[in-house]
Structure 1
């Protein structure tokens, strides 16, 4: 480390704050940008040194100019250079071992990127506190960029600080890092540090730390370095050696190389072809020098500060130097050196790079295919797709390509498409599959991806073609299972059961367990939709009978098994199955896979329904409020169930992060529905109704979720004192109950039936009628184990009983509701119950309270007369020229003084007491 850190105290302080936050259990990310040579690495090194003094485990990994050729290179680099304790901990996570040299495994059944990410999270948790530095992100491969985004979003309470450095001058308009940086910098946990040029005074101080220099030379260095510390170092070194100052930086850098001996220049040129780093034995072989001469040349290079010793090899002191030396190579010299490295390397990705650079197309072709297969093994589908596409581009230029590849061109293109889909680019996968010969396997995958891109009509058509072209049982069973899935929610849903049944029979005959389970689960969903729950349970049980060899399918089976029991109110069994699925996902590193995530939010709901809110809140803390994708937004929105019901201050912050994702129907349904309840608890029924109407407008007519949304909307109308829109809300709920989304008949579990009853009760409440028996049925319907909703139902039942004159029964229901709300710490509900109890004067002598007219203010008496006429709050506000909110306050006071809970009761009581003309 040259000299002292000068002129970067503010930037270092920002990074140290992030480090301190991590030490306190608030994970964070810092992104350090600046031009080449501006001091990013120096600043990161200073931070790493401080982190070590604070007891942090420090991991430092470097991206290479090979780009996407080597997936997860900085992670592998960091693990190789880690302390023994960290490497020992990493050994407990086999997926991480796949990144180290000489380690291979058979390809897994997909989702390996999620497994790798899960394994890394596990390692970081094991060895925290951790500082993980990723240098030169401008060269990061796609999987490393994905990893950075993953860590930025998923790290929450871990004692981990991630720091990434990148060159701003390398980020052209279409650079793939640009959108990643833009996305991450919006997160509140991400600290952005931009290093600008040092000022003249700071630069003079810095140059002075490099060694003695006279005033004239100091002035020249400061003026020529233009605020760049690396330039200053090079200029200072050149002047110290008596060299003149060249005009261009490249000339300056190469002037340092030209003073080397011929052997030194030969070794440095070979090192430049290797990249930023190179192993000692590899460099010695490629240089072609005898051992003694090679070692002397390296010693000379290192002594002049051009290469640094790093591990068992060497690294260029700065990337600019490596680039300058590489660019200065003659074309033939560059080709020969690349070929020499290709003869010695074993890494397929590096081989592909060097073969292509040396114009060995056959070698590049074979190595690209092997690199793609290796990338598949370590869960890097984007890189696998890139390697396969490179091989496809070379296919026509290579003799005997099929023999070299060990596969046909069509089969290679198929694998490339599957990898594109696995990396999230389903549109690219669709485009590649469309131009291939439409075998059953190709058509089945094409239909699957079309369905995932919401092109259900095209998916069904292609799936049908896959069925027609299948020529063996296993392929036919998979094609039929996919075809059945594409029809599940469309106008041909009545065909699903027959298709899925045939797929099931064929899969069993062919021994295709994955297709068998897929068909079972599709069939179970179909019979569940038409209300045959006994049959649905049987089918899901069969899907759970044994492993499929596909972890994704095994997790899918567990999710549906737990879900179907949850929806039938069998909470204990649902919890057991969900816990088993979560353990499987955790052991396999799949906690953030689709069904790993789904199992966790289902387990959260089970906690929520059962009244285990402390456990639910603990789970919600892991969901993350800071979201950047639709799946993250959906998962995060589940946390609102407890946060809204407990009135926690985090609600507003979480909603602000979820708001940009309200264009997605499910994210909108979850978060806006709970935002509506939040607004109602805070006395804003108009906003609540806006949320409800927006959600219903985006939902499929007949969807079961519309029942709950209609109930919330009717609650808002009751608070607003208007019946406008009430009939429409009840009609939408009834459509879901009677017809369902396909129109073939709806099916609701216990919770759905309870919400349907609540819709009816709320509709009557909107019209000023409190039906005791209907409110009692709602309370009983939620009594299967839904602690919170049962308490809310008792609140309404108590109001109805009080209105009917059954005071003692009303107080008994009120006391049970208060006890439940207190145990749950459901503050908004508890406050509403206390307010109702005060107005009802529970605890005082029995009988209805007679309120002398004098206890009502003049304005309250005026409002009461208009309430008795049937006017809404808005109409009263217009009549009296006051704010609608003021009317609401007056009405609330009137109800309290009269000891009633509805406007209708208030009018009747007022007439009985002679308070009205």
Structure 2
């Protein structure tokens, strides 16, 4: 109907863009082959992005692809989160209803935050720390499942208007989309991306991803403008007209269209104002007055305005409105919106120009009409958009009394959708309005309706009015959950400043803000948060049980569990559970019980603690507290590993990863995967452990701490495989991941110290070994940290034993051994694995003092033979064989032990242990331990040094182990310093070490310079 009066200003011929269209079609072909594609299409306003996307989507549909389009709206910053994703997913659902339903099965409640048609998300755990990550993961999995059997093209337009949540989801999608026949194409207006535009950092981040391709649209050349004009005019353009339009449009396709249309309306091209706004408005002003009224109304209604809403706001009869729309659409100013009964501007530049041309009073009047229409008939717009649009219209109508409740309602809706950045924007707008609103309006607002972050704490939320502090509390949580921690900290400081010296008059609220501040101080690396928690404890001390009191105790217990596990932390956890039960704060109770169970295991009440952890896991799953349930999986797998029950820990970790990933809990999945890698290393499944650790680093996690743990596991594996330089680099990177040292947490600091000590020992830096151990001992081994203390102690004492007899290591030896002996007496060994470690450390201590015996090593071997610790068992067998040979007998038994140790080392890829076994066999003139074990073992014929050292190089190595310089070696052996330097270089190369200290330690450890036994 409308096409009959349409004024053609758009070329029916697609001009240029051959290269750009080829890039898009190539991506479509790759996607159809099962390789997900991600493209960014950028260009200035009017350059032809929309036309290119239209051509591409037509082509994609012709090839059988399902196209789902969603566009950002300019009011996104006012609280319309995920707008393009919501629209695109709705289109995808309409196109593939059965496939979509199957892919979303059992996750409808979570996905309803993006697509409200799926249900009500209000009943779900939307305040969890990683709720947003969960939603993002589920969205990606949804797309991958839908695209298993269908090629899906997801188009997201106008990213320059994208809200923060949309930007974050897009970044996540581009980083993690790995499967399915799907192509994601996002467009943005490049000339809007100024230096401080929020999209700019995202574009920089995406540029670093190899999987993302940029497509930039340039302006048309003169030849392309000629083709465009020919298509529009259906005739060869006059050369003068072509020159004038190309000059004035500068090759911008939209400006070409506008100039041609203006000329067609009888306006001389040369008489147009230089103002871009005038250029864009000139065609609007040629419309009938009723059509101009409709265009101005649509300009203030958002990106798309529904027909019914437009009818109410314009107050035109249905026939008059249709005639006005017919004129606006025929003039190519408005177009019908796809998949709805609404209308939108064909180009956003025209909408901006029309909006800017409105008088201030005219703009506020239009917004009031929109707001009144939406309040009178909520069904005029989609349910998921009503709250945010109503808030926007009342705010711009400058009716503060109505704007404040509307803005608060919109903030609640955005909170339900995990759009915390938009919630924060709305809450800040509410705080801006707060003082301008009449007292009776504020007095009618209730905390239970608009703020859930701050508990009631004994007050009556149904009758107590909402306060400014309630808004600050809600905004602080929204800021923290959106990642704006600096802003959250500032909001909290403002609240505490408002409370001022009145904290004692409102202690619960003050305590709540102090706990929030403690969390932020720790997350921002400003401190450990204990001072803030202590202040909160002072404020609630002596008060009746309350939700805040329980929360303070729970946070204190959690702080202690990580930093100072012991009696006080255990007591705090027990009180937190008791108080939470009294006030029926079950979420806090379950969190505290999780801490309590972990502390019980650390304190030795093993079975009761594990039972508590399992009970909490089941209860949190049934309540939908998935974040706490995932935390239970983290603590269960970690506790089992700490008890030496590594196989059970692996099973728990595998289940936990599946659970966390199903619910999009990526950060929790990262923690569990780090635990899994640690347990796999213990069990000798090194290749799989490396795969898990590298996968964690590759996929990333919201927190950097799991990555630090993964790096330490990779460092351990590198050391065990003889890759010392790699291990050193991994340790340094792990330290960076763990962050500053002002908040030392034993579960990070002790494993880091252990691995750093082992690296220093492998490189022959005995002083660093001693200083590293001393620092760890001075910091202490709190209860439950024996699982980290024993491996650290073992690494240090092995280094001392390997360096015994080296002159360079004599100074400080007695003090170091005394320190180890003291730790040996103090460290707890509550279960079999740590009792075996205790025997191991004792035997190495005896070796360091020159008094080890085969009996000691037999005891160690027996202890580890009963455990799932193949590497430690192999190492103990090697030591036992060495001791047996040193005592001058039982050569057959020694040969069998070396064979077993060599077999394990070869299977694990433990090159240093394998070489140790081979060298000991060679030195003892035993058959090589590489074949089948035989009895008795016949003496092998004499052979050269296993490293191929010449007699002269052995002389030089002996002097190197004594700490001699090249000049001193030259003087001793009557050679030149240059010759000595050459010998040292050859020795380092043959031994496969990087320094003189490492060469000396290796020579001493392997007894390369001793007479064969």
Q: Does 1:220 align with 2:241?
A: no
Partner of 1:293: 320
For residues 827-875 of structure 1, give each alpha carbon's deviation from its aligned partner in whole angstroms, at most 9, with x where no partner exists.
8579758975995633689455454789998x71012124445726985
State the shift of 1:539 in Å: 4.7
| Contact map agreement 1:371 1:387 (CA 8 A) in 2 | yes
Q: Choose from 178, 181, 194 the match for 1:172.
A: 194
State the shift of 1:436 in Å: 5.6
Distance in 1 (CA, whole Å) between partners of 2:812 and 2:182 is 52
Q: Does 1:434 align with 2:458?
A: no
Partner of 2:133: 114
For residues 807-845 of structure 1, give each alpha carbon's deviation from its aligned partner in whole angstroms, at most 9, with x where no partner exists.
544443454455556666x48579758975995633689
Moved more, 308-317 or 830-839: 830-839
Partner of 2:390: 351
Q: Structure 1 residues 793 and 323, CA, compared in 2 at 3 Å: closer, same or farther?
A: farther
| Contact map agreement 1:61 1:76 (CA 8 A) in 2 | yes
Moved more, 72-81 or 449-458: 449-458
Partner of 1:458: 531
Distance in 2 (CA, whole Å) between partners of 1:715 and 1:14 is 60
Moved more, 200-209 or 514-523: 200-209
Q: What secondary structure does 2:698 align onto?
A: coil
For residues 209-256 of structure 1, give each alpha carbon's deviation from its aligned partner in whole angstroms, at most 9, with x where no partner exists.
555423332222322222433323333443455533322322221112
| Contact map agreement 1:30 1:191 (CA 8 A) in 2 | yes
Partner of 1:84: 96
Q: Does 1:36 align with 2:45?
A: yes
Partner of 2:896: 812
Distance in 2 (CA, whole Å) between partners of 1:642 and 1:25 is 37
Unaligned runs of 5+ in 1: 740-744, 894-899, 913-917
For residues 708-745 of structure 1, give each alpha carbon's deviation from its aligned partner in whole angstroms, at most 9, with x where no partner exists.
46766888896999748996987887787766xxxxx6
Q: What secondary structure does 1:841 align onto?
A: coil
Q: What secondary structure does 2:779 align onto?
A: coil
Q: Choose from 76, 82, 87 the match for 1:67.
A: 76
Moved more, 639-648 or 269-278: 639-648
Q: What secondary structure does 1:623 align onto?
A: helix
State the shift of 1:369 in Å: 0.9
Structural mapping, 1:308-707, within 5 Å = 308-309=335-336, 310-312=338-340, 313-345=342-374, 346=378, 347-399=386-438, 400-407=440-447, 408-409=466-467, 410-424=469-483, 425=485, 426-428=488-490, 430-435=492-497, 437=499, 438=503, 439-452=506-519, 453-454=521-522, 455=527, 456-468=529-541, 470-488=543-561, 494-533=567-606, 536-537=609-610, 539-540=612-613, 543-544=616-617, 546-547=619-620, 549=623, 550-582=625-657, 584-586=659-661, 589-592=663-666, 594-611=667-684, 623=696, 625=698, 627=700, 630-631=703-704, 633-634=707-708, 637=711, 640=714, 661=737, 663=739, 685=763, 701-702=779-780, 704=785, 705=788
Q: What secondary structure does 1:397 align onto?
A: coil
- What's the Cα RMSD here? 4.8
Distance in 1 (CA, whole Å) between partners of 2:631 and 2:245 is 65
Q: Does 1:184 align with 2:209?
A: no
What is the TM-score of this pair, normalised by structure 2? 0.75
Distance in 2 (CA, whole Å) between partners of 1:798 and 1:53 is 74
Q: Structure 1 residues 905 and 331, CA, compared in 2 at 3 Å: closer, same or farther?
A: closer
What is the TM-score of this pair, normalised by structure 1? 0.82
Q: What secondary structure does 1:908 align onto?
A: coil
Q: Structure 1 residues 433 and 798, CA, compared in 2 at 3 Å: closer, same or farther?
A: farther
For residues 259-312 of structure 1, give each alpha carbon's deviation from its aligned partner in whole angstroms, at most 9, with x where no partner exists.
222222222111111122222222232222222222232233223322232211
For residues 88-108 of structure 1, give each alpha carbon's deviation from its aligned partner in whole angstroms, at most 9, with x where no partner exists.
346523122233456534343
Distance in 1 (CA, whole Å) between partners of 2:734 and 2:50 is 36
Q: Structure 1 residues 157 and 715, CA, compared in 2 at 3 Å: closer, same or farther?
A: farther
Q: What secondary structure does 2:74 align onto?
A: coil
Moved more, 93-102 or 380-389: 93-102
Structural mapping, 1:703-714, within 5 Å = 704=785, 705=788, 708=791
Distance in 2 (CA, whole Å) between partners of 1:791 and 1:836 is 15
State the shift of 1:750 in Å: 5.8
Q: Choose from 868, 875, 893 the match for 1:785.
A: 868
Partner of 2:257: 233
State the shift of 1:370 in Å: 0.6
Partner of 1:897: none
Distance in 2 (CA, whole Å) between partners of 1:119 and 1:258 is 48
Distance in 1 (CA, whole Å) between partners of 2:583 and 2:275 is 70
Moved more, 347-356 or 531-540: 531-540
Q: What secondary structure does 2:343 align onto?
A: strand
Q: Structure 1 residues 304 and 781, CA, compared in 2 at 3 Å: closer, same or farther?
A: farther
Q: What secondary structure does 2:70 align onto?
A: strand
Distance in 1 (CA, whole Å) between partners of 2:914 and 2:628 is 46
Q: Which has the larger radius of gyration?
A: 2
| Contact map agreement 2:957 2:984 (CA 8 A) in 1 | no
Unaligned runs of 5+ in 2: 1-9, 379-385, 448-465, 970-979, 994-1001
For residues 126-157 of structure 1, give each alpha carbon's deviation from its aligned partner in whole angstroms, at most 9, with x where no partner exists.
11254433222222212112212322333345
Distance in 2 (CA, whole Å) between partners of 1:59 and 1:163 is 10
Distance in 1 (CA, whole Å) between partners of 2:252 and 2:656 is 54
Partner of 2:928: 841
Q: Structure 1 residues 60 and 193, CA, compared in 2 at 3 Å: closer, same or farther?
A: same
Distance in 1 (CA, whole Å) between partners of 2:685 and 2:104 is 36
Moved more, 573-582 or 859-868: 573-582
Q: Choose from 929, 936, 955 the match for 1:865.
A: 955
Distance in 2 (CA, whole Å) between partners of 1:562 and 1:638 is 18
Q: What secondary structure does 2:982 align onto?
A: coil
For residues 610-634 of structure 1, give each alpha carbon's deviation from its aligned partner in whole angstroms, at most 9, with x where no partner exists.
4556765675575352658643744
State the shift of 1:333 in Å: 1.9
| Contact map agreement 1:26 1:158 (CA 8 A) in 2 | yes
- The size of the alignment, in residue pairs, is 892
Distance in 2 (CA, whole Å) between partners of 1:636 and 1:855 is 35
Distance in 2 (CA, whole Å) between partners of 1:8 and 1:581 is 49
Distance in 2 (CA, whole Å) between partners of 1:789 and 1:209 is 80
For residues 8-67 of structure 1, give each alpha carbon's deviation from its aligned partner in whole angstroms, at most 9, with x where no partner exists.
455556556666665666656433333222344444455555655666544332111113
Q: What secondary structure does 1:601 align onto?
A: helix
Q: What secondary structure does 1:564 align onto?
A: helix
Distance in 2 (CA, whole Å) between partners of 1:730 and 1:229 is 81
Structural mapping, 1:98-109, within 5 Å = 98-100=113-115, 103-109=119-125
Distance in 2 (CA, whole Å) between partners of 1:198 and 1:810 is 83
Partner of 2:997: none
